[in-house]
Amino acid sequence: MAIDLPMNRRSALVGLIGVAGAGGAIGLSQTQRRAEGRRQTAQAEPIRLENGETDFRKVSLAQVPLGAGGFVTGLDISRDGKRFACRTDVTNAYVRDVGDGFWRPLFSPSSMAPKDYDPLPEHKDKADSLGVAGIRIAPSNKDIIFAVFCGYVWRSADGGRTVQRTRFPQKRFNPNGGWQRLFNPTVDIHPVDPSSVLVGTWGEGAWCTADGGATWRQADLPPAEGTPDGQEGIHLVAFDPAQPNRVYVFVAGLGLFRSDTGPGGKFDLLAGGPTRSSNIVPGPGGDLFVCEFSKDRWGGKVWRYSPMAGWTSAQPKREAMTLAFDPRKPGTALLVNADGVLMKSDDFCATFAELTGWKWAENGGEIQWMGGLSTMYPAQVKFDPNVPGQAWIAQGVGVASANIDDPAIRVQDWSAGIEELCAWSTLCVPGGKTYLAAMDKPFWRVDSLSAYTNDFRFPVLEGNGHNADFVAFATWMDYAPEDPRFLVGVVAPGQWSGPGYTTNGGESWKVFSGQPEGGWGKGGCIAAASKTNFVVLPSNNAPGVYTLDGGKSWATIKLDGKSPTTGFANAFYVGRKNLSADKSRPGTFALVFTTLSGNDEYLNVLGGLWLSRDGGRSWTQQLAGLIGPPGTKPREVAVAGGDARQFWQCQLEYVPGRSGELVYTPHADLSADRFFWSQDDGKTWAELHKSIRNVRAFGFGKAAPGQARPSLFFWGEVRGRQGLFASFDWLASEPRLVSRFPSQMLANVSCIGGDLNNFGRVYVGTSCAGWVRVDVEA
């Protein structure tokens, strides 16, 4: 069963699911073994701390080795086959040389000038993520790489070790926007002159440089037309390798244009061809091949344009998203449709044969969990210049390879170092394991910090089993205080999964046997007071619910004692953690309720901090209004510079081992937001430290020797300096900087989980680049 490709990573959060299972035991052919011999076994390695900027004696950082997980939307290979580059839809681009154990990020504190990343350029309306909208290795010099990031064009002259912004004027590129994010190529480089570059934008024309990016001019082309899914039309670009002065630009909605006097020359429309394309590819002999992109992604043809004979076309059984020609067999092409159907042509795309029976290798390749996949969603394919029949594929969860000359095609992952999971929450269980919740691939248990052997799981409905193709949105988890192996968690409900629990430490999960009368909302947070007593505050304004029998039956929360309370979170994509269970007191929960009402104080009368001591049956309003200085009224909070809304993202947690103590952040909505602590179940609040502002996320770690309270880690600002901070004395002294850039991928911090079992360790989740493990020596 094919699944419709999500239009972007955000749309996948509603619970898009893949089905079917992987095949049986798989062996490698002699050809594949030769290709495998070029690669090293992937092992995690520490990430160098940017500039050594820290207040501690020693800090070590390393990516938690989960592996890929996000869409790799483009791929390039140097002419000698020794260097690879790829791009992704949400975070960064990567470069890897043959023999390297890892892909390395192109954009990082190690490769960029501080002025270019501290801070990163503002996107304005020119980009919709930290992804990369195009990448190309110069055919004549593999050290030169051009890439599009944050709406600008960047250049590396040393194989990706460093990268500088060119003088390209910022234009619109949406690396995470709709189907077009999978279209290629948007950057091309002259076959013999690496200073001549052509770049296609989203709706703002095609641009060229003849001096390596020092100056740019817009190509003389008409504007592109918008797309059916609401994007500005894309421009795909290509130099003719056989005739370098001949260049092509495919303008969305209009068709293919050609100039025979270089990218700065006069372009003519080549009438009679398609008006939408996902991939244009120069073929052997000077012809250009175009993958037509149709409205239903089913009936598009493969078009061939010859400068001598004009247009011809052929209809494959499946519409091709991308194609590539084998340089060792000039007439042989591999085509892949949007659902991963492989097709082969041996006659320059005149006829096609489907390559059936391909499977993922049982061991996955570098990332072990990929061995369970049965599907593939490609964006671009390239042939290896050195290995006969070896194709490389940029696809939905990483980079993969397959040899199409083998009778049994086995797809091998090659994604070590690429981390594209969007981290939502981190849970470190005292006496247990560390667990991670992510978009797309829900719940992870960290079993290894040194190898790609970790795997994800999700609650399954009765009759279903684990499926590596599964895609769904996970938010929060919690554990039962009497059993570190009993956890509960929220996954967006669908036909295969939903909120549920595990009794064996995350080895397997089950969906709760019952559900609320009105069904589950999307996302939301969950807290557990015992193995039978949980509270769920769904998003999308669904009513809050609780259970006293382990999820067999659910009742609605009624803060006023009369009517079910809704509006705990307005949207599934909001990272709102407004609920916590006091593990030392069975049945005790605290929650924050805040919503706009339209009156003068624009706060619902139920707004405030609420406490339940009976498992969620009844609730007492501990504090009315907002948590903030100098009082609780919205206008007072606003005058003091705090967030007077507090209905957006926030985080509320009971302090481990300290009954009745709560910590709260309104999640950095404004420049002066404070960080709060209550010692009386939320009746009164004080600032944790006067120097702290704009805390985005926090977590508790194992207490330092002699300390009564746990270590505290947070991402925020201390006296105007932003970064990851730690306090081992419960802020008796000013918090100390751990790192300003814990993620080498420059992704925003989204969640933090201190390790309650290992002093000085914290897991930092990012918005779209997985998790980083940080160890601090005081």
Taking only the tens place, the pLDDT of each residue in 140-173 is 999 999 999 999 999 999 999 999 999 999 999 9
For residue 28, the model assigns a pLDDT of 30
Rounded Cα gap, residues 103 and 86, in angstroms: 9
Rounded Cα gap, residues 525 and 490, in angstroms: 7
| Amino acid making up residue 176 | N
pLDDT of residue 670 exceeding 70, the answer is no
pLDDT of residue 17 exceeding 60, the answer is no
For residue 5, the model assigns a pLDDT of 37
Q: Quote the CATH superfamily of domain 11-40+67-413.
A: YVTN repeat-like/Quinoprotein amine dehydrogenase (2.130.10.10)
DSSP helix/strand/coil, 372: helix
**CB under 8 Å to 182, separation ≥6 — which residues?**
5, 71, 73, 278, 321, 379, 380
Hey, how many other C-beta atoms are within 10 angstroms of the C-beta on 480? Answer: 23
Domain regions of the chain by residue span? 11-40+67-413, 423-777
Kindly report, residue by residue over 294-351, the tens digit of the pLDDT.
Answer: 988 889 999 999 999 999 999 999 999 999 999 999 899 999 999 999 999 999 999 9
pLDDT of residue 6 exceeding 60, the answer is no
Q: Quick one: tokens of 319?
A: 């519409």
For residue 297, the model assigns a pLDDT of 87
Are 11-40+67-413 and 423-777 in the same CATH fold?
A: yes
Check whether domain 423-777 has CATH 3.40.50.1010, yes or no: no
For residue 598, the model assigns a pLDDT of 52
Could you give phi then psi for residue 427, rounded to 5 degrees?
-130, 115
Average pLDDT, the chain: 91
- CA distance readout (Å), 114 to 118, 120, 121, 270, 335: 5, 9, 11, 45, 42
For residue 646, the model assigns a pLDDT of 82
Beta-strand pair 410-413/359-365: parallel
Cis amide bond preceding 119, omega within 30: yes
pLDDT of residue 119 exceeding 60, the answer is yes
Residue 464 CA to its chain's centroid (Å): 26
Strands (E), 1-82: 46-47, 58-63, 72-77
Quickly state the pLDDT bin for 648 (edges 50, 70, 90).
confident
Burial of 683 (C-beta count, 10 Å sphere; 0-12/13-18/19+): middle
Quickly state the pLDDT bin for 599 (edges 50, 70, 90).
low
pLDDT of residue 7 exceeding 60, the answer is no
Q: Residues 778, 57: contact at Cβ < 8 Å?
A: yes
Q: Tell me the β-bridge partners of 715.
A: 697, 724
Question: The pTM is what?
Answer: 0.92
Q: Residues 654, 699: contact at Cβ < 8 Å?
A: no
For residue 522, the model assigns a pLDDT of 87
Quickly state the pLDDT bin for 285 (edges 50, 70, 90).
confident
Kindly report, residue by residue over 340-364, the tens digit of the pLDDT.
Answer: 999 999 999 999 999 999 999 999 9
* Mean pLDDT lowest among 10-19, 220-229, 554-563, 667-676: 10-19
pLDDT of residue 47 exceeding 90, the answer is no
For residue 669, the model assigns a pLDDT of 65
Kindly report, residue by residue over 384-431, the tens digit of the pLDDT.
Answer: 999 999 999 999 999 999 999 999 999 999 999 999 999 999 999 999
For residue 141, the model assigns a pLDDT of 98
Quickly state the pLDDT bin for 672 (edges 50, 70, 90).
confident
Rounded Cα gap, residues 80 and 506, in angstroms: 45
Rounded Cα gap, residues 462 and 382, in angstroms: 42
For residue 668, the model assigns a pLDDT of 61
For residue 605, the model assigns a pLDDT of 87
- Kindly report each contact of residues 435-439 with a partner whose C-beta sits within 8 Å and lies 24 or more positions away, as own/partner: 435/477, 435/487, 435/506, 436/64, 436/66, 436/763, 436/765, 436/771, 437/474, 437/475, 437/476, 437/477, 437/489, 438/69, 438/474, 438/770, 439/9, 439/12, 439/13, 439/473, 439/474
For residue 182, the model assigns a pLDDT of 98
